[in-house]
């Protein structure tokens, strides 16, 4: 794949170790594009992601959805402010924009990726969780009965 590729990934459906390995295999930096890097599931909170990914994790709220908690249409917080940091990361290798949604077309990360692609000329590739039968759910929280 092209070094300047912008990947997108939603953590829904992933086990943390599987997501880490997928990002590592790409040689990418995981860029958390949530306004607030928190989750009901502790493994997807910023502190857990820092522990999981180390230096390959960056939180960039400028690409967050400023309407995430109001129910309004997706709107990026301050996308112009993100261009420089993303360009610097892309100079070193691919990036993977992280949010929680499984479907990129129903997630603001697709909006962020399209914005960055237009500004930086990088291709976008959406990554999807592996089918449940192929996953290792070690460490993944699951709901009873599922």
pLDDT digits (tens, 9 = 90+) for 109-142: 999 999 999 999 999 999 999 987 444 555 444 4
Residue 125 lies in a domain: yes
Residue 1 lies in a domain: no
Q: What is the CATH number of the domain that holds 78?
A: 3.40.1010
Residue 101 lies in a domain: yes
Q: Read off the pLDDT of residues 26-67 as tens digits, 9 standing for 90 and up.
A: 999 999 999 999 999 999 999 999 999 999 999 999 999 999
Q: How many domains does the chain have?
A: 1
Q: Looking at the predicted structure, is the pLDDT value of residue 101 above 90?
A: yes
Residue 20 lies in a domain: yes
Q: Averaged over 83-110, what is the pLDDT?
A: 97
Residue 144 lies in a domain: no
Containing structural domain, residue 21: 6-131
List, in sequence order, the alpha helices (H) in the chain: 16-26, 46-53, 79-90, 108-120
Residue 139 lies in a domain: no
Residue 143 lies in a domain: no
């Amino acid at each position: 794949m092209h070094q300047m590729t912008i990947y997108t990934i939603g953590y829904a459906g992933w086990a943390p170790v599987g997501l880490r390995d997928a990002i590592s295999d790409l040689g990418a930096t995981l860029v958390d594009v949530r306004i607030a890097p928190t989750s009901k599931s502790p493994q997807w909170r910023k502190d857990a992601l820092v522990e999981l990914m180390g230096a390959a994790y960056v939180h960039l709220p400028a690409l967050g959805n400023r309407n995430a908690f109001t129910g309004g249409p997706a709107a990026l917080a301050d996308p112009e402010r993100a261009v420089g940091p993303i360009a610097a990361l892309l100079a070193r290798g691919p990036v993977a924009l992280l949010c929680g949604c499984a479907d990129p077309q129903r997630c603001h990360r697709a909006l962020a990726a399209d914005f960055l692609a237009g500004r930086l000329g990088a291709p976008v590739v959406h990554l999807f969780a592996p089918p449940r039968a192929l996953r290792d759910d070690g460490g993944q929280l699951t709901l009873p009965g599922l």
